[in-house]
A and B are shown apart, each in its own frame.
Chain A
Amino acid sequence: MIRLSGRLRASLIIGGQGIRARKLRTFLSMVSLFLGVLAVVVVQAGAEIANRAMLADIELYQGKDGTRQMYLSPEGQTVPVALEVLRGRTDAVAMTSTRAIIGEPGVKPINEGGGPIDQPGGYGPSMMCDANGCYPIDDGTSGAPPGQAVELQLVGLTGDIRQFRPFRPSQGRWLDFGGQPSLSPGLVLNEEAAKAFTRYHVPAEMSVDGATANPTPRIVGVIDDGGYQPTAYVRSDELMNWLPTTSLGDTRSGPGLQVLMTPSAVEVEHVLRARLVAAGTPADQVRVTTVETLKQRSTELALMRWIFLGMAALVLLIGVAGILNVGLATVGERIEEFALRRAVGTPRLLLAGIVLAETLLTGLLTAALAIGAGVVGLQLALTVFGSRFPSLEGTAFPWQAGVAGVIAGLVAGILGGLVPALRAARIPIATVMRA
């Protein structure tokens, strides 16, 4: 061990002396290698950031990886039972989804069918499909004159959903689930819905399918939920103040139900399942799926990454050729030095180690510079383009890119130094005698 340590130290000391003695050559080697290592760093960082950005966007509407979700149709006692079981829980949240129109009563909404605000005519009237075909739902606006009203999807929540779907705050605040429910439902709009309220002067009256009356909503905040459909989020209990229990079981106008659970919420899942089955929901309809975005996308992500890494490897190869060229030329110049070192007892292996140490140190220095350039470049890119891409907010330089840069530097050092190292080790000692 001491022997190995001595050789390692000797090769590092002599390698360092060699680098200092040939600063210009080392610099030229680094220049040729820099682009290659930088390419690897950028590709790795880009892939990681793109991966995270894509996942972040998907998480907004599908939920984080590992989230367990249950979809239930609003039949019988399904919705009331689910809301009762999940009330006040933090490890599981129920989402009811229903249609609402905010604005002038008895008019055709600006975006009929709840479509995007910028889409002229919206989606058209809401449709209902069954075994006999599809037909428009009579929501009371057919034949009504156009007016100042916005149709949106109203999502009732039993708790904070952001642990599963990390919505990005835009304005105002998020829903406060503490305290008594207000008779004036507090709404958090998504950005598409907020767009409508910015453009149109809409009266504060909300018509909800199946509600006993039109409440006056309060808009408390705006978030980015990644959706293109105008949506408003509300506390379930505030919504339920206006929805009679009978309307909750209406398969035509009643709210759809989705339950999101943490992977560890096994107990609540069992209780909910048992209560639903006891309330008459067929057991085979109570199905739970797990969000596995990363797994589902892994193949395409890996393919994309390999393609870019292949391109980066080609650039790196050019850098390796540069360092190899300089290395061979340097060994040619240092024949006498190496012969002399062998004459004073330096083993062949250590001579090879000295040359490799020089190229490895060069590779590592280059990697450090390339990683530094990557970090600075990312900061600049985020400063310039960050506001255009919300998913890039808070992006840090991925450590994987740093590791890839160090590995690329080491690999380039080994590939570029191996042949010169072998040549150095084969230099005959008698060279010093014949000089």
Chain B
Amino acid sequence: MTTSPLLVPPPPAAPPLIHLTGVTKTLKGQDQPRTILAGVDLTVHPGDSVAILGRSGSGKSTLLSLIGLFDRPDGGQYLLGDRDITRIPERKAAALRSAEFGFVFQRFFLLKHLTAAQNVAMALVNGQGWLPRRKRKAKVLAALERVGIAHLAKHKPPRLSGGEQQRVAIARALVREPRILLADEPTGALDTETGNLVVEVLRQATDVGCGLVLVTHDHDHAAKMGRVLHLSDGLLRPAGQRVVA
């Protein structure tokens, strides 16, 4: 059996950021259990940008939630660097979510009563270590600067446009300088132009060695990523590769 170069690119010097092997997930609802992921393999190296396409309900968000340690796989193996975190307990998972991952969602999930800066600071005031106010403020402003909206730091979300709100959400994801950025349809609620801008901001994060996994329905946005994968029937394949029965 040969492995697609899109799934596992030629090994560079640095070890992969994440390495999923044969990951399975079955959802147990009131009806019959439904297998969402039937053996997913995925490797992401520093600086990689991976787009995952798939129909609604194909398991893209489930896969992202497993990668982001929101949930645990039923089977397979999940390595973060060289550390097996397949069955990591919640307390350690929370610490890893804080230290290693940044999340961007379709809805921005900004707290309306907080300013843009306070929303970004939310990722720093999370009980995982403590930064003095001055350092916290500097980091927040740097993150907002990185997404080009430092001048809006004191604005509250209702006064920001959709694109600005999503950039605040991206700043929140970047403020802890994560090694992996997970984005779940981040342009779903935005117009095309703003969506392009947001995808560009996300992609730029890979320039500094951050891995990016982008779940999207938009093929144009997917095309801007280094690799494009398609999730169907619980398996991840290079986009365009047909399923052989």
Contacts and interface: CB of A to CB of B under 8 A. Distances in A.
B97 interface: yes
Nearest to B172: A344
A344 B170 CA distance: 12
A311 B166 CA distance: 54
B177 interface: no
Contact of B111 (A3, A337, A343, A347): A337
Nearest to B169: A340
Interface residues of A, number: 34
A345 B125 contact: no
A340 to B, nearest CB: 5
Interface residues of B, number: 34
Nearest to A431: B70
B65 A341 contact: no
Interface stretch (A8-16, A133-141, A297-305): A8-16
A432 B130 contact: no
Given A6-B129, A6-B130, A13-B125, A340 B109 contact: yes
A433 B127 contact: no
B172 A432 contact: no
Residue from A343, A428, A435 whose CB has the most chain B CB atoms within 10 Å: A343
Interface stretch (B99-107, B191-199, B201-209): B99-107
Contacts, number: 93
B47 interface: no
A344 B127 contact: no
B114 interface: yes
Of A11, A20, A342, the most chain B CB neighbours within 10 A belong to: A342
Contacts of B96: 345
Contact of A435 (B91, B94, B107, B125): B107
A2 interface: yes
A17 interface: yes
Given A17-B113, A21-B113, A430-B70, A342 B127 contact: no
A288 B98 CA distance: 74
A10 B209 CA distance: 30
A429 B65 contact: yes
A346 B130 CA distance: 12
Interface in B66-101: 68, 70-71, 90-91, 94-99
Interface string B170-184: 001000000000001
Chain B CB within 10 A, most for which of A341, A345, A353, A435 = A345
B94 A345 contact: yes
B122 interface: yes
Contacts of B35: none
Interface in A11-41: 11, 13-14, 17, 20-21
A350 B127 CA distance: 7
Contact of A5 (B90, B125, B130, B172): B130
Given A345-B99, A347-B94, A432 B127 contact: no
Contact of B61 (A2, A20, A348, A434): A434
A339 to B, nearest CB: 8
A344 B123 contact: yes
Interface in A99-155: none
B127 A430 contact: no
A337 B123 CA distance: 12
A7 interface: yes
Interface of B: 61-62, 64-65, 68, 70-71, 90-91, 94-99, 103, 105-107, 109, 111, 113-114, 118, 122-123, 125-130, 172, 184
Given A17-B118, A435-B105, 8 more contacts: A5-B130, A21-B114, A336-B109, A340-B122, A342-B94, A344-B98, A348-B90, A433-B105
A-B pairs with lowest CB-CB distance, top 8: A345-B98, A6-B130, A21-B113, A350-B127, A429-B70, A346-B126, A7-B127, A345-B97
14 contacts: A5-B130, A6-B127, A6-B130, A17-B114, A21-B113, A337-B111, A340-B122, A345-B95, A345-B97, A345-B98, A345-B99, A347-B95, A428-B70, A430-B65
Interface of A: 2-3, 5-7, 9-11, 13-14, 17, 20-21, 336-337, 340-350, 353, 428-430, 432-435
